[in-house]
Chains A and B, each alone.
Chain A
């Protein structure tokens, strides 16, 4: 096993370290306070109070009302719940608008709606430009009278590119179309105030913001027609059956408080570290390029392609130095084609296969950035020397 202290962890868009405060908040509910929040006795009731408190904390971070927060098991469940709910609420509307660069949680759901629901659907997948941004004109044109729901991610997990959710939700609202955003990567990294937005559904996931794995949230705007995905008990006001994952809910509440407290640091110190890493790599390694819009981007994410070398090989060399990151290369996913996000942006194959995503958090230090900046150039040079496409005079 690799020692956690040795990890130079720059894969925070995959998952994050559970904040020590979060773990501490959770422990009593794993160890001592095991009561069921639905019980009549005080032993369960006090646990119910902890869930209520956590719900308020989540609502606070999002600028929502506590009743608008539904706890789920993960981001994927939240996405599925929102999209299926809209389709069931409007059985005569069979058109869905999404983008080409969604996370598989939304992408694979939308692409298989016919099989999953037994009804025919039309799906519009909006193209992105070379920098990963959307064309709002095309978006407006895509909306139709039979559009049941729009599902567009707030920020892209691979490139960090941020979509204009406020504007897009407003346009959908004008047409009376439900708007869902998968904000799994955005929550905790950029300010969100749902009171000012026309968003009807928003998904988030605990483990992307230093909370535990196995807990998610679906925000459901008050008054939005809703059909539950998990049917069972009366939990979550009948919107999601199943006994509450109390410890993780409490942990998520704590993580949301921390995220609010760290938001400024995320957008200043973490962003400065990201910029230093990004600029350093682009300057020291020839034939490297940034994937995604330079500024409309999460403060923690840098996706860089190193041409003529392959991502998995790069990652495994980085792994020798305990540096943890991800790649959009085909070989890392088990599929044979590189990332659908990079291909949608038209990143050339020479670069898509050699893309590395560095995603930072408040736990990263300047020393770690310096370490990565020192180790990357020889790794890339070594692999390029081995590559039949690399010419010494390039």
Chain B
């Protein structure tokens, strides 16, 4: 049983603006039957360029229907520049929050809106141009990168919750991890991380990682006159600092990836990414 807020239940049981506008100014369609959810959004502008009416048709679960309904409510009365700024977080916030596994429903709402605006402006959707990473759900790298940046995602599991990527056959998980690492490092201003629930709490992770370091990893490094310290754990990112002879060792990066990361993935969580804190 999902824990839906009253607001989600309200919008699910009594959705607003169901239907399809005849000869709309903008029309956006995302999702598919195979994916398990789909949304068709239509809107009409008044002579001042303000959204006078918006309607939706949604195939999907309660949170997909509620996200669509609240979205139409939000954008009526906005001009297109304002509407273009609506994010999936805004949609989720208006609903009083969504279960983390259901965040992709709010993402779908945002994408349909974007697609409808692009349709009105005669533009191509930039997100669709990307390279498809998740074949099961047709998610592109651009969509994934944006979700990582905007929603501050720090693990592959969170990427799946927000975009569905990786939630099917799982073949793209490695690629998702690469994108995650690349995106997190490119974004120079890493904002303060809001705590997000994970399968293992950060405290649990830290404890397990410390144990693994002490029992399995340090003895090996110490034999060669080196050592390792845990500096920080941030989602799946494990920041460590190498000590002693490791600091000057040319192979320290290989040690980190091939030995430390492999061991920690094996002993703690197979999604961990080990990096040297500088």
**Interface residues in chain A, defined as those with a beta carbon under 8 Å from any beta carbon in chain B:** 308-313, 316-317, 320, 329-332, 334-338, 349-350, 353, 385-389
Contact = CB atoms under 8 A, between A and B. Distances in A.
Contacts of A337: 36, 136, 167-168
Contacts, number: 72
A329 B35 CA distance: 11
A385 B15 CA distance: 12
Contact of A335 (B40, B58, B167): B167
Nearest to A320: B13
A316 B62 contact: yes
Given A316-B13, A349-B34, A387-B58, 6 more contacts: A310-B60, A312-B61, A336-B136, A353-B36, A385-B18, A386-B65
A310 B59 contact: yes
A331 B18 CA distance: 21
Given A334-B101, A336-B137, A386 B57 contact: yes
B33 interface: yes
A329 B63 CA distance: 14
Interface in B52-106: 57-62, 64-65, 101-102
B154 interface: no
B229 interface: no
B164 interface: yes
Contacts of B40: 388
A313 B68 CA distance: 14
Q: Which of B61, B136, B137 is packed against the most chain A CB atoms within 10 Å?
A: B61
Contact of A316 (B12, B15, B160): B12
Contacts of A317: 13
A330 B65 CA distance: 15
Contact of B62 (A312, A349, A388): A312
A313 B65 contact: yes
Given A387-B57, A388-B38, A313 B62 contact: yes
A313 B160 CA distance: 21
A389 B13 contact: no
A336 B15 CA distance: 24
Contact of A388 (B2, B13, B29, B34): B29
Nearest to B58: A386
A246 to B, nearest CB: 31
A311 B37 CA distance: 11
A330 B36 contact: yes
A334 B104 CA distance: 12
B156 interface: no
A336 B36 contact: yes
6 contacts: A313-B60, A313-B62, A317-B13, A349-B33, A388-B57, A388-B58
B234 to A, nearest CB: 25
B39 interface: yes
B33 A353 contact: yes
Contacts of A329: 36, 61
A336 B12 contact: no
A331 B136 CA distance: 16
Interface in B28-49: 29, 33-34, 36-40
A320 B62 CA distance: 13
A11 B12 CA distance: 23
A331 B36 contact: yes
A353 B60 CA distance: 9
A336 B18 contact: no
A164 B32 CA distance: 38
Nearest to A351: B33
Contacts of A353: 33, 36
Nearest to B38: A388
Interface in B126-177: 136-137, 160, 164, 167-168
Contact of A389 (B33, B136, B137): B33
A386 B36 contact: no
Interface string B13-27: 101001000000000
B245 to A, nearest CB: 34
Q: Which of A312, A316, A336, A350 is packed against the most chain B CB atoms within 10 Å?
A: A336
A309 B61 contact: no
Shortest 8 CB-CB contacts between residues of A and residues of B: A336-B167, A331-B61, A312-B61, A388-B57, A388-B40, A349-B34, A387-B59, A330-B36
Nearest to A387: B59
Contacts of B62: 312-313, 316
Contact of A336 (B33, B38, B164): B164
B252 to A, nearest CB: 30
Contact of B60 (A331, A332, A335, A385): A331
Contacts of B59: 308-310, 386-389
A258 B237 CA distance: 55
Contacts of A332: 61
A335 B18 CA distance: 27
Nearest to B4: A316
Contacts of B33: 308, 349-350, 353, 389
A260 B136 CA distance: 47
Contacts of A349: 33-34, 36
A313 B61 contact: yes
B211 to A, nearest CB: 20
Nearest to B99: A334
Nearest to A330: B36
A141 to B, nearest CB: 27
B112 to A, nearest CB: 10
Contacts of A316: 12-13, 62
B78 to A, nearest CB: 23
A308 B37 CA distance: 10
Contacts of A320: 13
Nearest to B164: A336
A350 B15 CA distance: 23
Contacts of B34: 349
A386 B18 contact: yes
